[in-house]
Structure 1
Amino acid sequence: MSEHTEQQHRPQPGIGIALIPVFLAVAILVGGIGILQYPAELMLVFAAVVFVIFAVIYGAKWDNIILEMGEKIKRALPAILILLSIGIIIGSWMISGTIPLMVYYGLQLINPAHLFVLAFIVTAITSTFTGTSWGSAGTIGVALISIAQTMDVSLAITAGAVVSGAYFGDKLSPLSDTTNMSAIAAGSDLYEHIRHMLYTAVPSSILALIVFWIAGTTIPTSSGQIAEVESMTASLENLFSLNPLLLIPPLIVLIGSIMKKPPLIILFVSSLTALLLAWILQGAAFSNIFASVVSGFTTDMLPENVELSEDLSSLLNRGGLYSMYNATFFIFCAFFFASALEASNVLRVLLEGIIQKLRSTGSIVFTTLVSGFVVINGTSNALVTYFLIKDIYGDVFRKHRLHPVNLSRSMEDSVTITEVLMPWTVSGVFMATTLGVGNFEFLPWAVFNWGGFIFSALLAFLAPWTNNFGIRTLPEASAQYGDPSEEEPKSLYK
């Protein structure tokens, strides 16, 4: 008997009982990680144990939980490999001088007052062309954080701007896997789905730009800050050979992503090119070149004997496989939690009980948004979340004559762009590790991410008074009888 079949035949808890492990897990995660600052990995294991006990009480087998964990890790292997590849690419781009060159140009061209706005715009453009939030944050985002660190401006706001811009493309790019998969799961056409998301993406972007512009105007430009920037640029000139050829590695990532080449191959070729440039342009020894991709780059790997400030050393000494080990271990803990949660059947019981009370467009969309946020934080797997939400709410949307693009947009606004905000999700761990800023630190400034959730809910609640502005409906016949019509979505994947 498969695990899925076993779950169907097991006794199901009532809604009141199912809420008990949920409240306990939330208290452990929010209280332990957010308030008491305990290690996130340990808190995640404790929360998982709660669901394991609950699942076993209701007939689940421990072996099946472990097997499900193994299946989740197998499905997540490409993401884990990309995570490790980002560590390699940061180390290789550092020793080659690619990131120092971008920092050098940024320090000369960027006014501190415009840094936050530019961080949002540049990462938004990059992620839209490449379709990856991880790639844009792990490359351009790292350089922007380094610039902010040098200019002594808020790293939390800069990280929030980078995350906001990175997820702009992850949400709207036709190259993004999450954009494609949410459309597939909901049964909507890809480009109709993207156009429909503009109703929430445009106001979220405008709000983000306003917030980042206002935040930038509060940054004082002091003579000491200018002197620090000048000192930093002079040190970078002495330490590296800042040749424009060093822009080749990021161009490889950009062009390869646009051409839809496999991400791992793109990152490997870019890293290999950077290492070759480190040998040719920087004169780095082979032993140091290889060490930079494993243990990370340190400034003593380069032949120039330049006395460095502590700030510059902390700016440059980073990257390598080892820098991603903690994040990789966290993923294992996250999947143990997700497996336990799935085995407990708690979410399905709670969500199926809620849908019986949904009547209005506002209540349907808002409940879908909240459910998506809860499930992605429990499973840390967007694909699983999309299809679970579709299974539970698909008929509800059709029954109330709501077009599938409303469901696919709700998935994006509650799953794709919010996962990164919590420190116990895979994307959250990646961003915090890569940018060096805690999730709860940049969360208030990830305006685009939480803005999408808010605007999506507002459009739904205001629909009765706005003539369904931003809400697409189905004709009466297709909603009641499932008859085909010209208003039905023409999926590219059917």
Structure 2
Amino acid sequence: MTTNEVKRPTVGMALVPITLALLIFIVGIGVLQFQAELMLIFAGVLFAIFAVLYGHKWVTILTVMGEKIKTALPAILILFSIGLLIGTWMVSGTIPFFVFYGLEIINPSHLYVLAFIVTAIVSTCTGTSWGAAGTIGVALMSIAQTMDLSMAITAGAVVSGAYFGDKLSPLSDTTNMSSLAAGSNLYEHIKHMMYTSIPSSIIAVIVFYFVGLQIDSNPAQVTSIDEMLNGISELFNLNPIVLLPAVIVISGSLMKKNPLIVLFCSAVTAMIVALLFQNATVANLFTSAVEGFNTEMLGVAPDLISEDIQELLNRGGLYSMYNATFFVFCAFFFASALEVSQALNVILEKVITYLRSIGSVIFASLLTGFTVINCTSNALVTYFLIKDIYGDVYKKRNLHPTNLSRSMEDSVTITEALMPWTVSGVFMATTLGVGNFEFMPWAIFNLGGIVFSALYGFLAPYTNSFGIRKLDETVNEKESSQRAG
């Protein structure tokens, strides 16, 4: 083989780098807990060498990587914007306002279930999981920290709620793009997702409710909450005006304005609010936006502020997202080398030849979606790849495109946040302060989607295809409407 001759690997050869990459991820990240960035680089180099051995050029990998970064630039900018938002919302008193009244109103036994419900409402209204987790999610995590509750369970509830809206909101970009890629109507797509979303949500609510009932309030916990309330009230002027930045985010999302513009306007508004109502200088405002908020900015002596309050409030800023942004570049290097090597494509094409039943087709598409999003961290690319691979297979099995679009959401949209080597996974772990593998068992909604999708497929022969929409149903509906007309 010459270096100028491009060839596709055989299935046997393609399995070699795939297996080695899985070992790198599972052992390196999962078992030995090495830095995910370095493991991604190692796996990327592995696929790059494999691609070069089969005739591809190094410059091709760099070109593909550049295209991926170009398409992901809006997400990277949103990543920075969330850091900016957290820092400015802290100095303005917006997040402290939510924390203060949350501590006063919320019963610790109900925090987990409320974390799921409240975040689900916000994400449905805004259509963004990142926005919901980066705003109300941060406040809920702060409340849980003050109440000495499980950060992992709270993070799991926040992630579950955040992706409820990201999956079902007509404002969500992933909801729109998955239906577009599969060729299904947006609202039919959302309606069909109820089959997996409703049971997943019910289970999440039940689990979070009963786990919360096991919480026992103790005097130390009550004292800690009182100290936090006193500390926050001393630091901030908590009047309703500080909610204005949050109102801008929700209103802008509902009006379908550009998210970057909305987040920036909210951050600027928060800075103005901080200047008018908090004891902050102009220099403090910019420092909060870039380096993150610090309680010392508000003119209170550090020795008068407890370490718990400082740990709770000192966060945010553009710098807080630098590590996550660097991770994006590592992830796209890996994804580019994988794509050019063609190793995954060869294996998937072989797998399709063995698919016979509805259950096997749906399960294979779910597994493929989960695998590809973990390899690419790019939902849009994954959607269209899944459509190219499984579109005709679904049609041959008389399956409506809404089944495919639902499988995309259940295996791609809501699972990406669970793994520490994906862009969304890094964002959630960084923003909420809890490792992915720690909150993953409690991200019940995210786990439920792929489980129920697979169950409907495998049980179709015994349930008269409950939860599965057939293509001939669409034909019958059109004929009925024509007769009625």
Q: Which stretch shows the higher mean deviation, 99-108 or 14-23? A: 14-23
Aligned to 1:219: 215
| Cα distance in 1 between the residues matched to 2:471 and 2:313 | 55
| 2:458 pairs with 1:461 | yes
Q: Which amino acid aligns with 1:294?
A: V
Q: Which residue of 2 aligns with 1:396?
A: 393
1:383 and 2:380 equivalent?
Answer: yes
Deviation string 1:419-472 (CA, Å, 9 cap, x unpaired) is 110001000011011111110110000000011000000011001010000001
Q: Tell me how far apart the structure 2 counterparts of residues 34 and 302 of structure 1 sit (CA, whole Å).
A: 41
2:411 maps to what in 1? Answer: 414
Shift of 1:82: 0.4
Could you tell me how far 1:485 is from its partner in structure 2? 8.5
> Do structure 1's residue 19 and structure 2's residue 11 form an aligned pair?
no
Do structure 1's residue 239 and structure 2's residue 235 form an aligned pair? yes
Cα distance in 1, alignment partners of residues 166 and 351 from structure 2: 30
Letter in 1 for 2:369: G
Alignment pair present for 1:357 and 2:354: yes
Q: Distance in 2 between matches of 1:251 and 1:317?
A: 23
Secondary structure of the corresponding residue to residue 475 of structure 1:
helix
Residue aligning to 2:264: 268
Which of 74, 83, 91 aligns to 1:78? It is 74
Q: Which residue of 2 aligns with 1:481?
A: none
Q: What's the offset of the Cα at 1:152?
A: 0.3
Identity, % of aligned pairs? 66
Number of equivalent positions:
477
Q: Could you tell me which amino acid in structure 2 is paired with residue 175 of structure 1?
A: L
Matching residue of 1:333: 330
Contact 1:401–1:476, Cα closer than 8 Å, also in 2: no
Aligned residue in 1 for 2:482: none
CA deviation map 1:186-208 (0-9, x unaligned): 00000000000000000000111
The farther-off stretch of 219-228 and 192-201 is 219-228
Q: Normalising by the residue count of structure 2, what TM-score does the alignment of the two structures yield?
A: 0.96
Q: Which stretches of structure 1, 4 residues or longer, exceed 6 Å deviation after superposition?
A: none
Alpha-carbon shift at residue 477 of structure 1 (Å): 11
What is the identity, as a one-letter code, of the residue corresponding to 1:211?
V
What is the deviation of 1:378? 0.4
Alignment of 1:77-226 (within 5 A): 77-226=73-222
Shift of the 477–321 alpha-carbon distance from structure 1 to 2, 3 Å rule, reads: closer
Contact 1:89 1:293 in 2 (8 A): yes
Gap runs ≥5 in structure 1: 1-5, 479-483, 488-494
* Partner Cα separation in structure 2 for residue 407 and residue 99 of structure 1: 39
Name the residue aligned to 2:255: 259
Structure 1: distance between partners of 2:334 and 2:477: 43
- Counterparts of 1:340 and 1:218, CA distance in 2: 48
* Counterpart amino acid of residue 423 in structure 1: P
Post-superposition CA distance 1:118-173 (Å, at most 9, x none) = 00000100111110000000000000000000000000000000000000000000
Residue 427 in structure 1 maps to residue 419 in structure 2: no
Scaled by the length of structure 1, the TM-score of the pair is 0.95
Q: Which runs of 5+ in 2 are unaligned?
A: 480-485
CA RMSD of aligned residues (A): 1.7
Deviation at 1:475, TM superposition (A): 2.1
**Residue 285 of structure 1 aligns to which amino acid in structure 2?**
T
Secondary structure in structure 2 of the residue aligned to 1:152: coil
How many angstroms apart in 1 are the aligned matches of 2:433 and 2:472?
A: 50
Mapped contact 1:334–1:426 kept (Cα < 8 A): yes
